[in-house]
Structure 1
Amino acid sequence: MAPSTALLTDHYELTMLQAALASGTAERRSVFELFGRRLPEGRRYGVVAGVGRALDAIEAFRFGEEELAALDGVVDAPTLAWLADYRFRGDVWGYPEGETYFAHSPLLIVEASFAEAVVLETVLLSIYNHDSAIASAASRMTAAAGDRPCIEMGSRRTHEEAAVAAARAAYIAGFANTSNLAARRRHGIPTTGTSAHSFTLLHDTEEDAFRAQVTSLGTGTTLLVDTYDVAEAVRSAVDVAGPELGAVRLDSGDLGLLAVEVRAQLDSLGATGTRIVVTSDLDEYAIAALASAPVDGYGVGTQLVTGSGHPTSGFVYKLVAREDDQGVLQSVAKKSVDKVSVGGRKYALRRLTREGVAEAEVVGVGTPAENDGDDRELLVPLVRDGEVVGREPLEAARDRHTRSRAELPPAAQQLSRGEPVIPTVFEGDR
């Protein structure tokens, strides 16, 4: 059985629960919505990731003896008794994983009793805010890379568990591989890896290091050639592996200039099929700047796992409707000047032109927005009566992202700071 996710929450969720149980409002049918009021500054679109992990977290949200013991002094005995029997029995709809999103897109809709839904706030937000931030950055990177593969290499630059989630999110957004072996085991993501400078420094000569690597891993391996002198290293690499050498990696210096020089040298040595992989704090801008260089792949670490300047997506989880004393669902919303929410149960579709190009994110309030026949519905069932129904293979999310990004207007591919490529339009009662 998976470890419990029940304590991946905030203190106030359980104290709210206690007060609601005492006041008799805990069982009121409620609708919560997870959304972002805006895209991260300057971004033109976002990417939904973490859906599969969130479904796992909902299933594992159980209060066993250890979890209940940890809450001694946090909530009272009646609340502990209620939590001991907790199991989410409501319904969840959401944007499927890999989908693009915009401001006020209702990414997740949770309908259940207030008590059942409110306690999920923190765990759902922590998953969606992290994974969607990584996927959004990764999408910009793979768009900039075009047909050249990107490799996720950020494990050493973030928390060990965040590293696994980051690899998963990056793969959804088009990364070809990861260096993280836990991501391979848990999610089936292809892994790759070569060697570090320490391996070269371990040996008496660079040639000895190359020979040891090629002897063990074969001529298709990737040799790191910038520990000492790059030109000497490339010559030695081809001497050792022959013209069938798989790739060389550049990890420092002016990568564009070095790539041109190394490509010319490899070709002169007959290694015309040897690829050039570059690393070293790459982000989408650096990748785009290398578009004209003879580079065959990019290894991306720090900038990816930190969201390339936006490590969170800014999502919130708000009550948008609740049952009144007569059992009628009423719209509710926060009215703060700078944090206005739109109340009411939401429905969403992507309005498309006849040519299949996205032109608006349409959010229906209270009732579904009108579909003119060319539009695409965005919300799918994820949980029904407490049972997960929306789990899918990671490859499905990866394919969805490719299709969703392709239908956005061409401006989505621009890396310059700008407004969202399509507006969000509300229809219905507000």
Structure 2
Amino acid sequence: MREFKKLEDVKDFKIDKERRFFSAQHEEIACGATTDIYFIKTLEILEHLGLAEKKVTAEVFPRRGGVLAGLDEVLNLLKDKDLEIWGLPEGETFESKETVLRIRGPYKELAVFETPLLGILASSCGWATAARECREAAGDKIFICFGARHVHPAVASVMERAAVIGGASGASCILAAKLLNLNPTGTVPHAAFLIAGDTLTISRAYDEVMPPDSPRIILVDTFKDEVEETLRVADLLKDKLDGIRLDTPSERGGVTPDLVKEVRALLNLKGYGHVKIFVSGGLTPEKIRVLSEAGADAFGVGSYISSASPIDMTMDVKEVDDKPVAKRGRLPGIIENHKLKRFK
């Protein structure tokens, strides 16, 4: 698929009538099919004027502070282009209007990719920043990203990868985990218990079927009181039980600090102090702090990360042929940032 360079390329671009999904394929992103049309018009006009080869320095800055993620995809997007690239390493924090990316080279090498480049950074940084807030709340305790079900599957792996960059201990999405050379992390949904009709049936089967390196963490809020179900499972699996998961729905008040305290106290009283308490369901940094203080050992976070607002990113051309330029309201010339690292 050839790169879009003029309006004729856009006109010739056809969509397969048998296309199964609406998300962009990798080749479509790489050729410019997801860009804004005005960049194609701009490129064609500059080519007509003989200016498309002009050397420019462009910088990207955010509208609010956060955590940098998405740079690896940006580098992949531009890897075959005649461009020099500096950026913040993934996982680095930034402030509002701080330069997070600098690109130098012929404008025609960059023009078509401004839209996808900014989109990659905006979404990834938003997700990573939300994950960092959860990490700060959880301290050194485990928290896993469970957000794949809340976003389009085309970006589920991007989101959960960004969450790990931001501080999540792992990802439940298989593709995201594999991209990070991690094992996907997760237990068993309520569906399994509802189909089997009894928590102990699933608990026993989980222990029999799952490999030894798969932690025995059992959901305990499907049928009975959470404390009662916790003790039933603990009596069944004993030392083999690694943890229980509390995911009490909002219709019943969600997981509360008092519930966590009660479960912890009864486990300790019955000699199951080794059993950890894993909490999930509508968690926010504030809830994580409170539940952690109550005795929760690990957390599964979904919608707080997946629904995080993108961090608006803006790209400005700051130099043309090494001469400082700027639109009205902006400062001409590059905005230095000593945290930038040369990547290309």
Specify the TM-score bucket, using the shorter chain as the normaliser: 0.7 to 0.9
CA distance in 1 between counterparts of 2:261 and 2:81 reads 58
CA distance in 2 between counterparts of 1:223 and 1:58 reads 45
Residues 144, 301 of structure 2: 8 Å contact kept: yes
Q: Hey, what does 2:133 align to over in structure 1?
A: 140
Verify: 1:297 aligned to 2:304, yes or no: no
Q: Hey, what does 1:382 align to over in structure 2?
A: 343
For residue 143 of structure 1, report the CA deviation from its aligned partner: 0.7
RMSD across aligned positions (CA): 1.8
- 1:152-231 to structure 2, matched below 5 A, reads 152-217=145-210, 220-229=215-224, 230-231=226-227
- 1:28-39 to structure 2, matched below 5 A, reads 28-36=54-62, 38-39=63-64
Match of 2:67 among 44, 47, 54: 47
Question: Could you tell which deviates more after superposition, 204-213 or 259-268?
Answer: 204-213
Q: Hey, what does 2:42 align to over in structure 1?
A: 16
Q: Hey, what does 2:5 align to over in structure 1?
A: none
In the alignment, structure 1 segments of 5+ residues that lack a partner are 40-44, 60-86, 324-328, 350-377, 384-430
For residue 52 of structure 1, report the CA deviation from its aligned partner: 0.9
CA distance in 1 between counterparts of 2:235 and 2:50 reads 79
Q: Secondary structure at the match of 1:348?
A: coil
Q: Hey, what does 1:343 align to over in structure 2?
A: 332
What code does the residue aligned with 1:206 have?
T
For residue 318 of structure 1, report the CA deviation from its aligned partner: 1.4
Question: Could you tell which deviates more after superposition, 214-223 or 279-288?
Answer: 214-223
Comparing both structures, which one devotes a greater share of its residues to helix?
Answer: 2
CA distance in 1 between counterparts of 2:198 and 2:66 reads 47
For residue 346 of structure 1, report the CA deviation from its aligned partner: 2.8
Question: Could you tell which deviates more after superposition, 289-298 or 183-192?
Answer: 183-192
What code does the residue aligned with 1:225 have?
V
Residues 70, 124 of structure 2: 8 Å contact kept: yes
Residues 171, 189 of structure 1: 8 Å contact kept: no
Question: Could you tell which deviates more after superposition, 282-291 or 18-27?
Answer: 282-291
Q: Hey, what does 1:322 align to over in structure 2?
A: 320
Give the alignment's TM-score, normalised by structure 1.
0.69
What code does the residue aligned with 1:26 have?
A
For residue 203 of structure 1, report the CA deviation from its aligned partner: 1.0
CA distance in 2 between counterparts of 1:291 and 1:344 reads 48
Report percent identity of matched pairs. 29
Q: Hey, what does 2:256 align to over in structure 1?
A: 255
For residue 29 of structure 1, report the CA deviation from its aligned partner: 0.8
CA distance in 1 between counterparts of 2:189 and 2:197 reads 15
CA distance in 2 between counterparts of 1:168 and 1:205 reads 35
CA distance in 1 between counterparts of 2:97 and 2:158 reads 24
Residues 243, 270 of structure 1: 8 Å contact kept: no
Q: Secondary structure at the match of 1:278?
A: strand
Q: Hey, what does 1:100 align to over in structure 2?
A: 93
CA distance in 1 between counterparts of 2:37 and 2:172 reads 36
In the alignment, structure 2 segments of 5+ residues that lack a partner are 2-24, 249-253
Match of 1:234 among 230, 235, 238: 230
Q: Hey, what does 1:333 align to over in structure 2?
A: 326
Paired positions, count: 310
What code does the residue aligned with 1:236 have?
R
What code does the residue aligned with 1:381 have?
R
After superposing on structure 2, the runs of 4+ consecutive aligned residues of structure 1 that deviate more than 4 Å are none
Residues 244, 274 of structure 1: 8 Å contact kept: no
CA distance in 2 between counterparts of 1:138 and 1:190 reads 19
